[in-house]
Structure 1
C-alpha cells in the first residue's frame, strides 16, 4: 500500500526534525537521532520524520524495508516515508547520496539544516535549536 505524504504536514504546530537519508548512508547521523531521542522532547510539541531517498541506492527494497523496520522499532514516534523519485533533491535542493537533517519551526520554516555528517558541536546546536523553539 502506498500512502502519499505532503510537506504540508510540516506545518503542524510542532517542531519537526526531518532526516532525509540515502539508505547507503543510513548510519551516518545515528548519533544525532540518538541524541535527540535522549532529550525526551514533549511529544505534543516535537516530531520527527525519517525519509529514505530510495532512488539514491542500489540496495534492494527488501533490504531497505528491513532497515526501516529496525529504525521504526528503535524510534517509535518517528514517521518513516520513502521518496521514490528524489523529490526533495529536485524540489528542495537537498543533497543527494547523503544524510540531510532539517529542523522546521511550527510554521514550517527552516530553523536549522546540515548536509552530511554532524560534528559534536552541531549535535549540541540542533538540540539547542529544538529546545529554544518548543514554546
Structure 2
C-alpha cells in the first residue's frame, strides 16, 4: 500500500502541468447546446475529463462507475466527457443523439463534441487518439494524473486518492 501512495505522489509531482488552452467551437464542435467549450474552464474545482473515441466508449466504464460511487461534492468536483467524433466511422447524427441521451442520464457531466481532433492536436503526448483517456485536473487547472487506455484497478484507486487529496 505504501508503494502505491509513493508512486501516486511521484506521479503527481512529475505530472502537474497546465496544458495549452484549447477552445472547441463552431465547425470544430463544442457543447451539445452549440456553445463553445474552453479548457480555461478547468479551474476552481477538481475536474475529471474523459476524452474518448466513440468506438472505445465502454473501455473505462468501471472507472466512471467507481467515480460515481464516491459521490464527490459537486461544489468541488466536476466531470467532462469530450467525444473525439473524428475518430470513428459512425455518422455524427447518430453520435449526437447518443450524447443527448447520455446528457439526460448524467446531467452532472458536461458533454462536448470534438469534431476535428482539436484536443489530440493541441495536447500531443497528453491524450492518445483513437483511445479512451482519463485526465484529472486540480483546482488550479494543472493536469495531475492521466490514464491512456484501459484503467487498471490500481490506477482507478490511485486516481480516486489523487482526487480526494486535491478536493
C-alpha displacement of 1:70: 3.3
What does residue 119 of structure 1 align with? 152
Q: Which residue number in structure 1 is paired with residue 26 of structure 2? A: none
| Moved beyond 4 Å, runs of 4+ | none
Describe the shift of the 1:69–1:2 C-alpha distance in structure 2 as closer, same or farther (beyond 3 A). Answer: closer
Q: Which of the two has higher C-alpha Rg?
A: 2
> What's the counterpart of residue 67 of structure 1?
98
State the TM-score, normalized to the length of structure 1: 0.94
Query: After superposition, where does 1:97-112 map in structure 2 within 5 Å?
Result: 97-112=130-145
Task: Answer yes or no: is 1:90 the counterpart of 2:121.
Answer: yes
How many residues in Structure 1 have an aligned counterpart in Structure 2? 133
Change (3 A) 1:103 1:41: same
The answer for unaligned runs of 5 or more in structure 2 is: 1-32
Unaligned runs of 5+ in 1: none
Render the CA deviation track for 1:46-76: whole Å, top value 9, x for unaligned: 0000000011111011221232133223322
5 Å-filtered alignment, 1:53-64, equals: 53-64=84-95
Matching residue of 2:83:
52
